[in-house]
């Protein structure tokens, strides 16, 4: 997976897009609790998520894997030994360190740090820190909407709103803040790409909203946050998170919030059900 991503990013046909490489970076891992992994002694099969294979030409493995089931071979449920074990009561930065892809990890930290260094209010900094959170370990498609929904129970309504609308605002320039249509989008989608009507409508709605600039500023700090030579310690955001993100005492995933299942999906991404 990593090598595929790296080779895509190194593809010279993409030009000199200012994207970071995908080399693993050192991320402190909390000491794992010395506890056996579940389903001991049996082979644990992983069925890829249906949406990941849809339309790709990759075979759907559901039927073949069901056919391989036996008393010694079951479907994975619970901690996957191939992933770092999460703490029992995980906090926001645990997901950054232990689950997010390298690119999203660095992008979110850089984006938030750029906003912080520019003297932006904390609501902008936290919005930048969370704006692409679904890309980290859940889903890229409709990432503004997913990201907003994941964090909505834990941030202000304004921050969640801004995160949702940044997806649409990225397609539309705003000269008042020096935001132009991203060059990278010409590379990603082709120079003639037109966003669909629902995105254009979201842009019009956002423009007319009192929180427009909160969302717009996410796109401003989004643009410059894909460098590979910038190392940011996530702990620099501890205070901002403490004041702007309600960490549940039970841990993210276990607090019964309307989006707890999304956090659990990132903790145990390979669960069969
Ligand atoms: Fe985004
Ligand atoms: Fe972004």
Find the 167 Cα to ligand 1 centroid distance in Å.
5
Of all ligands present, the nearest one to the C-alpha of 165 is 1
Specify the pLDDT at position 53.
Answer: 87
Give the list of residues 6+ apart from residue 32 with CB closer than 8 angstroms, or none.
84, 85
Q: Tens digits of per-residue pLDDT, 84-138?
A: 999 999 999 999 999 999 999 999 999 999 999 999 999 999 999 999 999 999 9
Find the 256 Cα to ligand 2 centroid distance in Å.
28
Find the 104 Cα to ligand 2 centroid distance in Å.
8
Find the 39 Cα to ligand 1 centroid distance in Å.
38
Specify the pLDDT at position 221.
Answer: 95
Specify the pLDDT at position 29.
Answer: 57
Q: What is the C-alpha to C-alpha distance for residues 38 and 241, in angstroms, rounded to an integer?
A: 33
Could you tell me if 176 and 216 are in contact, meaning their C-beta atoms sit under 8 angstroms apart? no
Find the 150 Cα to ligand 1 centroid distance in Å.
14
Find the 145 Cα to ligand 2 centroid distance in Å.
13
Sign for the CA dihedral angle at 116, 120, 123, 127 comes to negative
pTM tops 0.85:
yes
Find the 144 Cα to ligand 1 centroid distance in Å.
6
Find the 100 Cα to ligand 2 centroid distance in Å.
14
DSSP code per residue over the chain:
-HHHHHHHHH-GGG-S-------------PPPP--PPSSTTSEEE-PPPHHHHTTTSPPP-HHHHHHH-BTTEEE--S--TTSPPPPSS--HHHHHHHTS-HHHHHHHHHHHHHHHHTT--HHHHHHHHHTTHHHHHT--TTHHHHHHHHHGGGS-HHHHHHHHHHHHHTTS-BGGGTB---HHHHHHH-TT----HHHHHHHHHHHTSTTHHHHHHHHHHHTT---SS----GGGGHHHHHHHS---TT-TTSS--TTHHHHHHHHSTT---
Neighbours of ion ligand 2 (CB under 5 A): 132, 222
pLDDT tens digit at each of 273 positions of the chain = 333 333 333 333 333 333 333 445 556 555 554 568 888 889 999 999 999 989 999 999 999 999 999 999 999 999 999 999 999 999 999 999 999 999 999 999 999 999 999 999 999 999 999 999 999 999 999 999 999 999 999 999 999 999 999 999 999 999 999 999 999 999 999 999 999 999 999 999 999 999 999 999 999 999 766 677 778 999 999 999 999 999 999 999 999 999 999 999 999 999 999
Find the 132 Cα to ligand 2 centroid distance in Å.
5
Find the 127 Cα to ligand 1 centroid distance in Å.
11
Find the 220 Cα to ligand 2 centroid distance in Å.
10
Of all ligands present, the nearest one to the C-alpha of 140 is 1
Find the 61 Cα to ligand 1 centroid distance in Å.
31
Find the 143 Cα to ligand 1 centroid distance in Å.
7
């Amino acid at each position: 997976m990593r090598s595929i991503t790296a080779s895509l990013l190194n593809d010279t046909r993409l030009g000199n897009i200012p994207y970071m490489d995908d080399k693993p970076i050192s991320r402190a891992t909390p000491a794992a609790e010395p506890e056996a992994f579940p389903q001991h002694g049996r082979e644990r099969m992983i069925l890829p998520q249906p949406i990941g294979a849809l339309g790709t030409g990759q075979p759907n493995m559901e039927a073949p894997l069901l056919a391989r089931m036996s008393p010694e071979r079951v479907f994975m449920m619970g901690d996957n030994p191939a992933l770092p074990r999460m703490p029992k009561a995980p906090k926001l930065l645990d997901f950054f360190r232990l689950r997010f892809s390298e690119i999203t990890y660095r992008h979110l930290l850089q984006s938030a740090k750029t906003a912080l260094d520019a003297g932006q209010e904390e609501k902008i900094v936290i919005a930048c820190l969370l704006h692409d959170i679904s890309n980290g370990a859940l889903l890229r498609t409709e990432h503004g909407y997913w990201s907003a929904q994941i964090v909505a129970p834990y941030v202000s309504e304004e921050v969640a709103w801004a995160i949702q609308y940044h997806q649409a605002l990225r397609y539309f320039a705003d000269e008042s803040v020096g935001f132009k249509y991203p060059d990278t989008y010409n590379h990603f989608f082709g120079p003639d790409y037109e966003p669909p009507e629902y995105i254009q409508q979201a842009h019009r709605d956002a423009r007319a909203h009192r929180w427009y600039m909160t969302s717009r500023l996410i796109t401003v700090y989004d643009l410059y946050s894909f460098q590979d030579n910038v190392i940011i310690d996530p702990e620099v955001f501890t205070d901002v998170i403490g004041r702007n993100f309600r960490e549940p005492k039970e841990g993210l995933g276990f607090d019964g919030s309307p989006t707890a299942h999304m956090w659990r999906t990132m903790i145990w991404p390979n669960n069969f059900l």
